[in-house]
Amino acid sequence: MRKSYKGLLSIFAIMALLLASACSGGNETSGDQSGDAAKDGAVSAKVGVISWLTGAGAGYGEAITNGLKLANKEIKEQGKVDIELITEDSAGKQEQALSSAQKLMNSENVSAIIGPTLSTEMKVVGPEADLNGVPIMGTSTTAAGIPQIGDYVFRDSIPESLAIPASIEKAIEKYDVKKVAILYGNDDVFTKSGYDTMKKVAEDKGLEILTTETFQKGQADYNAQLTKIKNTQPDLILCSALYNEGAVIMDQARKMGIDVPFVGGNGFNSPEVIKIAGDAADGLIVATPWFAGKDDQKVQDFVAKYKEEYGKEPDQFAAQAYDGMYLLANAIEKAGSDDRDAIRDALAETEGFEGILGEMSFDEEGDIVMEPTVLTIKEGKFQLFE
Amino acid sequence: MLAEIINPYYLQVLSFILINIILGVSIYITLSTGQLSLGHAGFMSIGAYTSAILTLNYDFPLVVGVILGALLAGIVGILIGIPTLRLQGVYLAIATLGFGEVVRVLFINWESLTQGAIGISSIPHFGRELVTGLRDTGFTADMIGIRNNQLISLLVFIILLVITVLLITFFVRQNHSRVGRAFAAIKMDENAAEAMGINITYYKVLAFAQGAMVAGFAGALYAHVTAYISPSDFAYHRAVEILIFAVFGGSEVIWGPIFGATFLTAMPELLREVSEYRYMIYGIILVAMMAFRPQGLIDHEMIYKIKSRKKKKKKVEDDKKERNRHGVGS
Region B63-89: mean pLDDT is 92
Contact B119 A120 (CB under 8 A): yes
How far is residue A81 from each of residues B98, B193, B236, measured CA to CA in Å? 55, 74, 46
Fold adopted by A161-288: Rossmann fold (3.40.50)
Q: Which of B17, B255, B267, B272 to mutate to test the interface with A (most CBs of A within 10 A)?
A: B272
Contact A145 B116 (CB under 8 A): no
B318 and B169 together in one domain: no
Q: What is the pLDDT of residue A74?
A: 93
Contact B226 A95 (CB under 8 A): yes
Contact A11 B258 (CB under 8 A): yes
Q: Which residues of B touch A194 (CB under 8 A)?
A: none
Contact B128 A193 (CB under 8 A): no
Q: If contacts are CB pairs under 8 Å, which of residues 51-110 in chain B contact chain A?
A: 105, 108-109
B289 and B308 together in one domain: no
Q: Which of B10, B20, B152, B265 to mutate to test the interface with A (most CBs of A within 10 A)?
A: B10
Alpha helix positions (H), chain A: 2-29, 58-78, 94-102, 119-132, 160-175, 189-204, 223-232, 243-256, 272-277, 297-310, 316-335, 340-348
B241 and B328 together in one domain: no
Q: Please, which pLDDT band fits residue B38 given cuts at 50, 70 and 90?
A: very high
Contact B278 A87 (CB under 8 A): no
Q: If contacts are CB pairs under 8 Å, which of residues 219-238 in chain B contact chain A?
A: 226-228, 230-233
Structure-derived torsion over alpha carbons of residues B200, B202, B205, B207, reported in degrees to the nearest 10: -80
Q: What is the pLDDT of residue A288?
A: 86
Q: Which residues of A touch B226 (CB under 8 A)?
A: 94-95, 98, 124
Q: What is the pLDDT of residue A26?
A: 38
B258 and B272 together in one domain: yes
Contact A99 B276 (CB under 8 A): no
Please name the member of B119, B168, B231 whose beta carbon is closest to the beta carbon of A8: B168
Q: What is the pLDDT of residue B100?
A: 93
B287 and B149 together in one domain: yes
Cβ atoms of A126 and A100 within 8 Å: the answer is no
Contact A55 B279 (CB under 8 A): yes
> How many DSSP H helices and E strands does chain A contain?
12, 15
Q: What is the pLDDT of residue B288?
A: 87
Identify whether B294 is preceded by a cis peptide bond (ω within 30 of 0): no
How far is residue B328 from each of residues A173, A256, B17, B232, measured CA to CA in Å? 107, 101, 52, 72
Domain ranges for chain A: 43-158+296-371, 161-288
Q: What is the Cα–Cα distance from B219 to B19, expressed in whole angstroms?
A: 8
**Could you tell me whether strands A373-378 and A284-288 are parallel, antiparallel, or unpaired per DSSP bridges?**
antiparallel
Q: What is the pLDDT of residue B275?
A: 66
B13 and B132 together in one domain: yes
Q: Which residues of A touch B168 (CB under 8 A)?
A: 4, 8
Q: Which residues of A touch B108 (CB under 8 A)?
A: 186-187
- The pTM is what? 0.84
B316 and B205 together in one domain: no
Q: Which residues contact A162 (CB under 8 A, 6 or more apart)?
A: A287, A370, A372
Q: Which residues of B touch A102 (CB under 8 A)?
A: 8-9, 11-13, 153
More confident residue, B1 or A20: B1
Q: What is the Cα–Cα distance from B58 to A116, expressed in whole angstroms?
A: 31
Q: What is the Cα–Cα distance from B79 to A239, expressed in whole angstroms?
A: 39
B215 and B125 together in one domain: yes
Q: What is the pLDDT of residue A5?
A: 53
Tell whether B15 is within 8 A of chain A (Cβ).
Answer: no
Q: Which CATH number fits domain A43-158+296-371: 3.10.129.10, 3.40.1000.10, 3.40.50.2300, 3.40.50.10890?
A: 3.40.50.2300
Is the ipTM beyond the 0.90 threshold? no
Q: Nearest CA of chain B to the CA of A90: how many Å?
A: 10
Q: Which residues of B touch A88 (CB under 8 A)?
A: 272
Region B72-83: mean pLDDT is 94
Contact B118 A189 (CB under 8 A): yes
B311 and B270 together in one domain: no
Please name the member of A15, A94, A105 whose beta carbon is closest to the beta carbon of B226: A94
Residue spans of chain A under pLDDT 50: 1, 16-39
B166 and B270 together in one domain: yes
Cβ atoms of B79 and B141 within 8 Å: the answer is no
B23 and B134 together in one domain: yes
Q: What is the Cα–Cα distance from B64 to B124, expressed in whole angstroms?
A: 13
Q: Which domain holds residue B329?
A: 301-330
B288 and B308 together in one domain: no
Counting residues of chain B whose pLDDT is more than 70, the rounded percentage is: 97
- DSSP tag of A143: S
pLDDT averaged over chain B?
Answer: 89
pLDDT in tens, B161-188: 999 999 999 999 999 999 999 999 999 9
Number of domains within chain B: 2
Q: What is the pLDDT of residue A34?
A: 42
